[in-house]
Amino acid sequence: MTAIEKIRNVAIIAHVDHGKTTLVDAMFKGAHMFRDNQRVQERAMDSNDQERERGITILAKTTALHWSGHRFNIVDTPGHADFGGEVERVLSMVDSVLLVVDAFDGPMPQTKFVTRKALALGLRPIVVINKVDRPGARPLWAQDAVFELLIELGATDEQLDFTCVFASAKQGYAMMDINDASENMDPLFDAIVKHCPPPQGDPEAPLQMLVTLMDYNDFVGQIGIGRVVNGQMKVGDQVALVKRDGSIQNHKVTMLYGFEGLARVNLQAATAGEIVALAGIPDIRVGETIADPTNPEALPYVDIDEPTISMMFVVNNGPFAGQDGKHTQSRRIRERLMKELQHNVALRVEDTDSPDSFKVSGRGELHLAVLIETMRREGFELCVSRPEVILHTDPATGEKLEPYEDITIDVPDAYMGVVMEKLGTRKAEMQDMANELGRVRLHFKIPSRGLIGYRSEFMTDTRGEGILHSLFSHYGPFKGELPGRKNGVLISMDQSESVGYALMNLEDRGIIFIHPGTKCYEGMIVGEHARENDLVVNIAKGKKLSNMRASGSDEATRLTPPREFTLEQALEYIEDDELVEVTPNTIRMRKRILNENDRKKAERRLTN
């Protein structure tokens, strides 16, 4: 056990892609956590497959390192606002935060979000201006911008008197002054020791530990991770679990783990100030308190912001159901969603009138898309609906309210006009505009509904050169109807395999989404129609063959490469009468009602 005055608990917070996880890599190397010849992958803390593929942190993770007799417990947090629930709860484990800001971009929307949460808890930030080696870096400008942000967020005088460290996490050095010369991370470690206070807990007081993160192990079951606020704990101790509803259960600590670099190490005891993981409590949940059985007192829990987006998870009832996945029944889907609730505290799951569908609510499209992708990789098959915003009613006036987002857009000058035009039709209001080095930075407030389906359109309009970041702002007046998708879709006529000749002839009617040889079924979306209405097409129509040969009659089949969709793009593309069918091997778009005649009957009923 480390003496409490030698412990520093610190979280790393930043906007997405400003270098948090890379900074942890540099701190590992600076503290010599690995052998010189040891192979360590980049962004070592991004252990999840999706984190590596997407290049973002999704789950908050804890690690620890030793430097000059001090123990640093470090929490790496997500930068994306959709995973803000992870950030909000882990900040209660630490005594200070490293606020990482890109030396070129300066504070961005998610920087504002995570900083507001840290300041509200009274934490004093240590600002790290990262990427000072980047071409065009403006470290002193970024430092001033952080100061202005803290003033805007209502920081106290003590919080405004922050320490600033200039660093290049990629190159592995930090310095207290931009003109200093440095070859290692020692200035950053020194700043943490001096300006991050040691934990305030009392090792002699009755035990109290707040469960902040969850993990699972096939051998020991549920694992609760949190900071020992007061008291001490040993393997084999009897402890009380104080539930969120106030009920108390008695359990025994069977295993206790500490953190060392990328590994977990077995501990026999832990004392106040340490961040540990414990096993032996089967139904432990985030937000519950581990306490002394003779004096069980709960610790306050940080409230998590409510979800803003919901979608329906429906059992796959298509003709190909069960061909790909292992888990297709509603019972298995419900069990999996309930298991997710144990650690994903920003998620909500509700049963509906139908036993085959569940309403799942989250912080944004990406939040729910990551869950769907995870389930898909675990062998689940399901259909999901288009995301919808969660509306509120003002209790005083009875007025309908909807969520609004703050969006920041960076685009080259040439594309500013088309971006402003498109956002104008989606009821966005411009807040600010700045021209920097040939690029324009635009700030808008927009109803969350207006962003659904816009991101892929934005990337097309800006030729992939635009950057768009969004952040939940507030609930405001309902803005009325917004424009939806302009074009209809091409729908498969029956169950068959697509033929290249048929697809070539359909290219005049719109954009094709499938390759030749793709198995399709009635009601499946195979392309986008060039007009506003939906069109049912025959994708299996073959070429008429004869025994005659003539010059020019044997035209070669030439196909334009189809437009392929990722899961997020498919969720944005579909309309309310459509679903995305997700299986371990494929992502298909389809109509809710597969039969053409049944769709026409349903439309007539709606119009009547």
Residue stretches of the annotated binding site for GTP: 17-22, 130-133
* Ramachandran sector of residue 540 (left: φ over 0; alpha: ψ -120 to 50; beta: rest): alpha
What's the 3-state SS for 168-197? ECCCCEEECCCCCCCCCCHHHHHHHHHHCC
Per the DSSP assignment, residues forming a β-bridge with 211 are 226
The single-letter code of the amino acid at 517 is G
For tokens 């803290």, the residue is 150
The number of helix segments (H) and strand segments (E) in the chain equals 15, 35
Q: Which residues contact 53 (CB under 8 A, 6 or more apart)?
A: none
324-330 long-range contacts, Cβ below 8 Å, gap at least 24?
A: 324/381, 324/583, 324/584, 324/585, 324/586, 325/379, 325/380, 325/381, 325/583, 325/584, 326/379, 326/380, 327/378, 327/379, 327/380, 327/381, 328/380, 328/381, 328/382, 330/355, 330/356
φ, ψ (nearest 5 deg) of residue 114: -70, -35
Where would I find the H helices in 443-562?
448-451, 454-461, 500-506
Coil, strand or helix at 81:
helix
Record the tokens describing residue 289, joined without a space: 């308190």
Positions at the binding site? 17-22, 130-133
User: How big, in percent rounded to 5, are the helix, strand and coil portions of the chain?
Assistant: 25, 30, 45
- Calpha distance 579→588 (Å, rounded): 9
Q: Which residues contact 308 (CB under 8 A, 6 or more apart)?
A: 363, 364, 389, 390, 403, 448, 472
Q: Which residues contact 317 (CB under 8 A, 6 or more apart)?
A: 356, 383
The single-letter code of the amino acid at 117 is K
- Calpha distance 138→356 (Å, rounded): 54
Residue environment code for 19-44, b if the CB has 16+ CB neighbours within 10 A, otherwise e: bbbbbbbbbbebbebeeeeeeeeebb
Strands 587-591 and 578-582, bridge-based pairing: antiparallel
Give the chain's largest Cα–Cα span: 97
